[in-house]
Amino acid sequence: MLNSIVDTLLPTTMVGSYPRPHWFTYQLHGRDIWEAFKDVNHAEAFEDAVRTVLQDQEQAGLDILTDGQMWFDDYGGCIGSFVWYWYERIHGFVPTKHSHPFVEGGQVSHTDAAWLTDWGATAVTAAVERGPLRLADLYHIAQRNTKKPVRCSVGAGPVNLTYHVHLDYYKTQKDLAYALVPVFNAEMKDMVASGASFLQLEDLGAWLPLFSGNPDDFGWVVDVINKTIDGVEAKLAWHFCFGAAWGNASQGLFPSGAGYGSILPHLHDTGIEQYVLDFAVREMEDAHILKDLPADKEVAVGVIDVRNLQVETPEQVAERIRKVLKFIEPERVTLTTDCGLRALPRFCAYNKLRAMVKGAQIVRAELAGR
């Protein structure tokens, strides 16, 4: 049976990140939050920023909130901390920025090489071990500042973290991914023990078999995800989009014609309850694959294009929702953004959320009138 976080048809949320308030300029720069927060000004500004982001979501009308990932620094790609937060705090990785292995190998186009160079890479030089990630503490800070439920983003996850690494210790991406499993599993269990009830694993490793060209890789990717969430008693979602460096989808990295239909059927053996998918940027292409979603799975559908400054109208959002509901019942649909909103101006991010809420209200009224 699917777990319900709120008693609302077509509940609304957002993927994770949100634009920093302009006045919040503090950076963690690899430090444990409890080292950084010895500076009372940093500690107060951080919690004020989280509270502000939560209030933006509440005023927009979202049903399920996130902390906006105010713990992400202003690194390359705008959202480079998506990987660097983990590289800087998991023992075994070096904290310095290296050239990217995909660029060195000549595997990518000029455009993709530019953003991968901006993003950078690390090296793993020793066995990985859990460090001061503090996800449970970050959850506490968020949840004490709102009465609405907070969904917690976890990642970049163990497979995703193998993309931006020089493998100086482990021989393969697979070896590194398995080594990272205990780190993430322990963090997720600590979050649940602290009261978190909805965790979203952020891991674009779902696409790895397309990059490697080896369909057999789906087997170990699924196994890594299952081991990562093993024993985690919460509603569990898995987000894998098309990338978002400075608001750009990483389409050049994908084989021609690749979409969710290329991978989703291979992922159904995971214990994940909800897929969080990137649809709006492609005008709901692939939505038809949702008709084959197993009964024990649901979907959070991206109906807001985060890679475009244009704020959608509520009717545009409503039409995107209608396209999805041709293939899956509304009781198994959550509405979300394609990816994080970090690269957008706060004005655009906030008003896109408002448009999503109003679009959801339009469709709910239509469903109620049937």
Mean pLDDT of 107-131: 90
pLDDT interval class at 320 (50, 70, 90): very high
What is the per-residue pLDDT across 181-202, written as a single tens digit (0 to 9) for each? 999 999 999 999 999 999 999 9
What is the per-residue pLDDT across 285-301, written as a single tens digit (0 to 9) for each? 999 999 999 999 999 99
Structure tokens at 100: 């990217």
Q: Give the DSSP H or E segment for 140.
A: helix 135-143
Contact 85, 70 (CB under 8 A): no
What is the per-residue pLDDT across 39-48, written as a single tens digit (0 to 9) for each? 999 999 999 9
Q: Is the dihedral of CA 266, 325, 275, 249 positive or negative?
A: positive
Instruction: Write down the pLDDT at residue 99.
Output: 94
For tokens 């780190």, name the residue: 183
Mean pLDDT of 50-57: 98
Q: Is the pLDDT of residue 250 over 70?
A: no
Instruction: Write down the pLDDT at residue 42.
Output: 98
Instruction: Write down the pLDDT at residue 294.
Output: 97
For tokens 């985690």, name the residue: 232
Distance CA 294, CA 82 (A): 30
Distance CA 343, CA 167 (A): 30
Distance CA 302, CA 15 (A): 9
What is the per-residue pLDDT across 7-51, written as a single tens digit (0 to 9) for each? 999 999 999 999 999 999 999 999 999 999 999 999 999 999 999
Q: How many Cβ atoms from other residues are within 10 Å of residue 282's Cβ?
A: 17
Above pLDDT 90, what percent of the chain? 86
What domains, with CATH codes, occur in the chain? 33-368 (3.20.20.210)
Contact 325, 366 (CB under 8 A): no
Instruction: Write down the pLDDT at residue 248.
Output: 72
Distance CA 308, CA 50 (A): 24
Q: Is the pLDDT of residue 126 over 90?
A: yes
* pTM given for the model: 0.96
Q: How many Cβ atoms from other residues are within 10 Å of residue 323's Cβ?
A: 16
Q: State the chain's mean pLDDT as an integer.
A: 95
Give the lowest-confidence range in 43-57, 71-85, 151-165, 176-190. Answer: 71-85
Instruction: Write down the pLDDT at residue 251.
Output: 62
DSSP 107-139: -S-HHHHHHHHHH-BEEEEEEEE-----HHHHH
Instruction: Write down the pLDDT at residue 242.
Output: 85
Mean pLDDT of 214-219: 97
Cross-strand bridge partners of residue 166: 123
Q: Is the pLDDT of residue 150 over 90?
A: yes
Contact 347, 310 (CB under 8 A): no
Instruction: Write down the pLDDT at residue 112.
Output: 82
Going from the C-alpha of 141 to that of each of 108, 138, 152, 235, the distances in angstroms are 40, 5, 12, 20
pLDDT interval class at 252 (50, 70, 90): low
Cross-strand bridge partners of residue 334: 300
pLDDT interval class at 207 (50, 70, 90): very high
